[in-house]
Structure 1
Amino acid sequence: MRKYRWFIDFEREEKWLNDNLQKGYTLIAKNMFGIYHFVEMQNSMKIIRLDFQRIKSTHDLENYKSHFEEVGWKHIDGKKGNSFHYWIKEKDGNDKILSDKQSFNNVYAKLSSYYATLMLMLLIPIMFANQTIDPVPFILNPLKAINFTNLLSMNGFELVFFSTWSIGVMIFRVVPLWLLVYITFMWLKQYLKYKKVDKALILDKE
């Protein structure tokens, strides 16, 4: 069985996966497009946890997996680079990967840094694509990026070619802007959570 979901909050994602687990559907894989693959299996005594890691090499990935597998966790999904990793194990009273505030704080810090990097990377194509135009009018209406006046004077192959070209240019101009808005929201959300947990840690030390 496959389900499509798109989560902003990894804690909500974790809860959703465990709700499915209680209903008899066990996660076996997840791809980058938000498609979750489940198998029907009664696993009411198991639990799924998420962890976010920056892993640079296959060797580091294997060491990371071995560390958790030694204490009973089974790796479901997760890759090298900046990636969420999905784990499952039998409930035994020691069921948390992120077991304290400092662990959560580290994850939120990594996520906010990751999204900040993506924001900077997106600025390059945005500045290049929109250096001669004002992008504001077509952020909410992408069709304004197409010059329909010129298209109406064409026909045949010329119309098909320039229509396709105009749509491609529209996508190149608009999609990075939308992504920037979305990623900025993601960065702000993770950063605020990081600051909230960081403040709690400071108060605990006082």
Structure 2
Amino acid sequence: MKKYRYFMDIDSEEQWLNKMAYKGCELEGRGLLSYRFADEASSDNSTIRIDYRTFTHPEDFTDYRTLFEDSGWKHLFSSQGLHYFRKEDANASDDIFSDTESRAGRYKRLLQSYFALSFLFLSFILILYTTKALTIDLFIRPQSLYYTPGLWDKTGAAFIRAFLFETPIALMRGGAGWIVLFSALSFFYLFMKTYKKYRKCLYVQ
């Protein structure tokens, strides 16, 4: 069974997965915009937790998994630095983090990732702008993407034919700029949101 969802917040994703687990939906994997659950309902509605961490060496990842499994948490799968765990031991803690410091560490690692991605996309925007590949007109005058001479002076069927012919090309010209801008703003938003959670964890300490 597949469920299509997109989360910009790791805590919201975790809450939703636990609601699905409560309904008997056993998590098996995930794609870019989808989650895969076992076809048959499970009577085991164990808790799901998510951590974020990257590894340079395979043995570090093996030690990481072993540490959690020894604590009663089964590693289900990993996706883009996110690691999904399910509580297997009824006597294990309800959280994979033993204290607020380790929980704050997860947010700190996410912060570093979001900052790097924000910086990357903002740098890309600057490069495109300085090389004239991206201009302000793209955002305030979308019609500047249309290069057909005299297009906006045409009327009737002639205008419609010319407009429809060039629109796909114009979208390809402008699409990249909008995607880069949206990505930069999205990662910056995630950075600020995660920073607030990180600060909150430190305050709780």
Bin of the TM-score, shorter chain as denominator length: 0.7 to 0.9
SS at structure 2 position matched to 1:46: coil
Rounded to whole Å, the distance in 1 between the matches of 2:91 and 2:102 is 20
Rounded to whole Å, the distance in 1 between the matches of 2:58 and 2:87 is 23
Deviations 1:20-62 (A, max 9, x none): 111111110012x221001133244522111111212322222
Rounded to whole Å, the distance in 1 between the matches of 2:129 and 2:96 is 44
Rounded to whole Å, the distance in 1 between the matches of 2:41 and 2:150 is 56
Q: Is the 8 A contact 1:8 1:186 kept in 2?
A: yes
* Structure number having the greater strand percentage: 1
Amino acid at match of 2:77: D
After TM superposition, give the deviation of residue 124 of structure 1 in Å. 2.8
Deviations 1:105-127 (A, max 9, x none): 11111111110000111123212
Q: Which has the larger radius of gyration?
A: 2
Asked whether 1:135 is paired with 2:151, we answer no
Asked whether 1:83 is paired with 2:85, we answer no
Q: Is the 8 A contact 1:21 1:47 kept in 2?
A: yes
SS at structure 2 position matched to 1:25: coil
| Percent identical residues | 28
With 126-135 and 179-188 compared, the bigger mean Cα shift is at: 126-135
Rounded to whole Å, the distance in 1 between the matches of 2:105 and 2:119 is 21
Correspondence for 1:63: 63
Counterparts in 2 of 1:76 and 1:93: CA distance versus 1, 3 Å: closer
- TM normalised by structure 1 equals 0.80
Q: How does 1:57-206 map to 2 (within 5 A)?
A: 57-79=57-79, 83-90=81-88, 91-131=90-130, 132=132, 134-135=135-136, 138=139, 143-144=142-143, 146-147=145-146, 149-150=148-149, 152=151, 164-201=168-205
Q: Is the 8 A contact 1:116 1:187 kept in 2?
A: yes
Asked whether 1:8 is paired with 2:8, we answer yes
Rounded to whole Å, the distance in 2 between the matches of 1:161 and 1:59 is 55
Correspondence for 2:20: 20
Rounded to whole Å, the distance in 2 between the matches of 1:137 and 1:200 is 45
SS at structure 1 position matched to 2:47: strand
Rounded to whole Å, the distance in 2 between the matches of 1:161 and 1:58 is 52
Q: Is the 8 A contact 1:138 1:145 kept in 2?
A: no
Q: Is the 8 A contact 1:118 1:183 kept in 2?
A: yes
Counterparts in 2 of 1:127 and 1:16: CA distance versus 1, 3 Å: same
Rounded to whole Å, the distance in 2 between the matches of 1:58 and 1:160 is 52
Count of equivalent residues: 194
With 43-52 and 14-23 compared, the bigger mean Cα shift is at: 43-52
SS at structure 2 position matched to 1:67: helix
- TM normalised by structure 2 equals 0.81
CA RMSD of aligned residues (A): 2.9
SS at structure 2 position matched to 1:175: helix
